[in-house]
Structures are given as structure tokens and as C-alpha cells.
Amino acid sequence: MIDYLSARIRSFGYAIKGIMTLIGTQPHARLHLLATVVVTGAGVYLHLRRWEWVAILLCIGMVWMAEALNTAIEFLADEVTLERRDRIGKAKDVAAGGVLIVAIISVAVAALVFLNHFGFHLR
């Protein structure tokens, strides 16, 4: 049982190391970090309702997950080869497109949540 718990604790360490690598090596991840802080601060300031927090937190989590998976794909692809290959390029483009899709949807959700607090009642 001790070995099992020790392995689980080590796996958290690897995950934290991965998050630090993501933030330390990816400029877009640093933008996501800034956006996370700003949106969270705005949510606290505006006293978001529970459902609004759920929507915002789901979006934050999806953007971070997409950015992490995109970065992992880029690292793996670059490990295979640094030369330009069509399918590797397509894989990288699709992964980056996934991040963009989630980011656009997240901005839309944030607009729906936050504009309501500034008197713009969207129906």
C-alpha cells in the first residue's frame, strides 16, 4: 500500500512538472495564465453565481487541457523529426486549431456571463 501511495504522489509531481514546462516554454500558455487570473479576479469582484462559475471554470479547464495536449503533440512531433513533413504539420495544425476553437468558445461564454453583469442583458 505504501508503494502504491508513493507512486501516486510521484505521479502528481510529474504532472506539476508538466504544467511548469507548459508555462515555462509556451508563450500562449502564459497568455492563458494571464487570462485565467483576470477572469477569475473579475468573477470574484462581480460575485458570479454558481452556474456562471461552472461555465467559466469549465472553459478555463478546457483551454488549459487543449493547450497542454497541443504542446505535447508538438514536443512529440519535434522528437520524431525537425524536418518539415506534411502529416506532422497537419497534426500540429489540427492540434493548434483545437486550442483556437476552445478559446473562441470560451470568449463567447465569458461574454455571455460578464456582459450581463455590466447591464447588457443578452437573451
Q: What is the pLDDT of residues 20-74, one digit of tens each?
A: 999 999 999 999 999 999 999 999 999 999 999 999 999 999 999 999 999 999 9
Cα–Cα dist 122/115, whole Å: 8
Q: Tell me the average pLDDT of the chain.
A: 95
What does the domain layout of the chain look like in residue ranges?
27-117
Residue 7: is its pLDDT beyond 80?
yes
Of 59, 61, 88, 94, nearest to 75 by C-alpha is 88
Which residue of the set 67, 74, 79, 83 is catalytic? 67
Cα–Cα dist 8/3, whole Å: 9
Structure confidence at residue 109 (pLDDT): 97
Which comes out higher in pLDDT, residue 5 or 66?
A: 66
**74 noted as active-site residue:** no
Quickly state the pLDDT bin for 2 (edges 50, 70, 90): confident
Q: Alpha helices of the chain — where are they, by DSSP H? A: 2-25, 27-46, 50-80, 86-117
Residue 94: is its pLDDT beyond 90?
yes
Read off the pLDDT of each residue in 89-114 and give the average, rounded to a whole number: 97
Is-contact 101 62, C-beta < 8 A? Answer: no
Residue 123: is its pLDDT beyond 70?
no
* CATH numeric code, 27-117: 1.10.287.3610
CA torsion sign for 42, 112, 96, 17 is: positive
Quickly state the pLDDT bin for 3 (edges 50, 70, 90): confident
